[in-house]
Chains A and B, each alone.
Chain A
Amino acid sequence: MMLIECPWCGPRNETEYGYGGEAHVAYPADPNALTDNEWAKFLFYRKNPKGLFAERWVHSAGCRRWFNAVRDTLTYEFKAVYKPGEPQPIATTNAPAQGGTK
């Protein structure tokens, strides 16, 4: 059981949250311009690192807001939570670059 810090509501039980998978995945600017391979990569491929991972959560039973988190997928420890639009505070292999703002 994880105690997850909502950026707006503070620490709440894991059961109040929903999981949204990898964070900072941009919707293609022009889907029609993509090759089949690029479209497949967008649609079906997400990073799956063992270690730090930037990912999305939603506080479903609380303020119902989406936010981002950096969590260790091995220890499950949350290293940071941050609101959409805020820079990613800790670098991960799945984020485009440290300080990304998507």
Chain B
Amino acid sequence: MADILPEHPEFLWHNPDPKPSYDAIIVGGGGHGLATAYYLAKNHGMTNIAVLERGWLAGGNMARNTTIIRSNYLWDESAGMYEKSLKLWEQLPEELEYDFLFSQRGVMNLAHTLGDVRESMRRVGANQLNGVDAEWITPEQVKELCPIINIGDDIRYPVMGATYQPRAGIAKHDHVAWAFARKCDEMGVDIIQNCEVTGFIKDGNRVTGVKTNRGTINAGKVALCGAGHSSVLAEQAGFDLPIQSHPLQALVSELHEPVHPTVVMSNHVHVYVSQAHKGELVMGAGIDTYNGYGQRGAFHVIEEQMAAAVELFPIFGRAHVLRTWGGIVDTTMDASPIVSKTPIDQLYVNCGWGTGGFKGTPGAGFTFAHTIANDEPHELNAGFSIERFETGHLIDEHGAAAVAH
């Protein structure tokens, strides 16, 4: 596409060595870790903090997602969290002084069966009650918004309508990370790459620091943003998480002229697709079923996803897959995240975003920072505690979230 990517200086952040001690340490330098650091510094005045990243900045799921942003979730807790996130997305380009190509081109979730239709309409109703800009659209309206889609009734999964959220869209994921990193750096946050946490230091039931491959670092508070590796970190720290890590794959085609003006998701056939600013078609698949930390999955998953995509978009039959890759997604049993205190004092965890973490980046950062700074959850993440699995107050978002798990 014609969009010119914004210029940025050669270095957006420094590469400091770890100090002996910080007020707070955030483990994980992906989108959520950086957003958490940003809001800790900006909203809570905590600038003597560090983000520890075992690899390179934003090289995990932040580099591997399909960049979809939306807030049309069913339950009140989710609508609150994801809509807050979307509102933050809307102000972030200006606030971070960085045009990361946030494009509110709308997202539609297709309905292919009468069951889908009922579930979708119910969700639209719930969204509207929660102030989320969702609407139900007919197959003809789907076609109007996305002319290349096949709305014929002679296909295996005909399009019977869709939910549509006009304010939803996509953003350029790596630029989002860089934007957060630059602001964090400006406010004095240490972003430390190639620094792997290997253990936790505790005084009684209170965490007091972390062991890393670059030495021991003391900390008043420690916050986990480890995504697919959350279980590994929790085990090191000595508590359990109800998380299973799975490979999730995505792919891009080679560059094409603009053909796909919006974002189309289909839970039923496991495909979600948009066209990135450069012109490549970006598609995501379902998770590979087994537990995995390998950042790769099997080709039959890609094949099934492509079969669905080609049926919905016949012209994709002529497109070539340029590249496929995998990330590690941390899934919970109710397809909702955990943004919570932990059984260990001054240790906090943000995980379980499954296949939908990118859209939650600012919302997670905003509420998690509040939780860390106040040792109490924000009202928006109070429901996303670990305790919900014990109280039974689950937030079942399999309908809204579960394209893939």
Q: Could you list which residues of chain A lie within 8 angstroms of chain B, going by C-beta atoms?
A: 1-2, 14-15, 18-19, 21, 36-37, 40-41, 43-50, 53, 55, 71, 73-76
Query: In angstroms, how far is the closest chain A Cβ from the Cβ of B111?
Result: 27
B289 touches A74 (CB 8 A): no
* Total B residues in contact with A, Cβ cutoff 8 Å: 24
Q: Which of B232, B243, B244, B300 contacts A1 (CB 8 A)?
A: B300
Known contacts A47-B231, A74-B292, A74-B293, then 12 further A-B pairs from the complex at CB < 8 Å, ordered by chain A residue: A1-B299, A1-B300, A36-B390, A37-B390, A40-B242, A46-B244, A48-B231, A48-B243, A49-B232, A50-B231, A73-B291, A73-B292
Contact with A along B223-239 (1 / 0, CB 8 A): 00000010110010000
Binding site for A on B (CB under 8 A): 229, 231-232, 235, 240-245, 289-294, 298-300, 332-333, 389-391
| A2 CA / B300 CA spacing, docked (Å) | 11
CB distance from B288 to the nearest CB of A (A): 9
Of all chain A residues, the one with the shortest Cβ separation from B234 is A48
Residue of chain B at shortest CB distance from A77:
B294
B242: A residues at CB distance < 8 A: 40, 44-46
Pairs of residues from A and B, 8 with the lowest C-beta to C-beta distance, nearest first: A48-B231, A19-B289, A40-B390, A44-B242, A44-B389, A50-B293, A19-B290, A1-B298
The interface residues of chain B lying within 8 Å CB-to-CB of A50 are 229, 231-232, 245, 293
The number of residue pairs between A and B whose CB atoms lie closer than 8 Å in the complex comes to 64
Residues of B within 8 A of A15 (CB): 298, 300
For residue A41, which residues in chain B have a CB less than 8 angstroms away from its CB?
240
Report the nearest B residue to A15, measured CB to CB. B300
B292-A76 in contact (CB<8A):
yes
CB distance from A55 to the nearest CB of B (A): 7
Q: What's the minimum C-beta distance from B68 to chain A, rounded to whole angstroms?
A: 25
Residue of B240, B294, B389 near A74 (CB, 8 A) is B294
Inter-chain contact A73/B293, CB cutoff 8 Å: yes
In the bound assembly, the distance between CA atoms of A55 and B244 in angstroms comes to 13
* Contact A40–B389 (Cβ < 8 Å): yes
CA distance A47 to B231 in the complex (A): 8
CA distance A45 to B333 in the complex (A): 9
Give the distance in Å from the alpha carbon of A21 to the alpha carbon of B299 in the complex. Answer: 21
Contact A14 B391 (CB under 8 A): no
Given A1-B299, A40-B389: A73 touches B289 (CB 8 Å cut-off): no
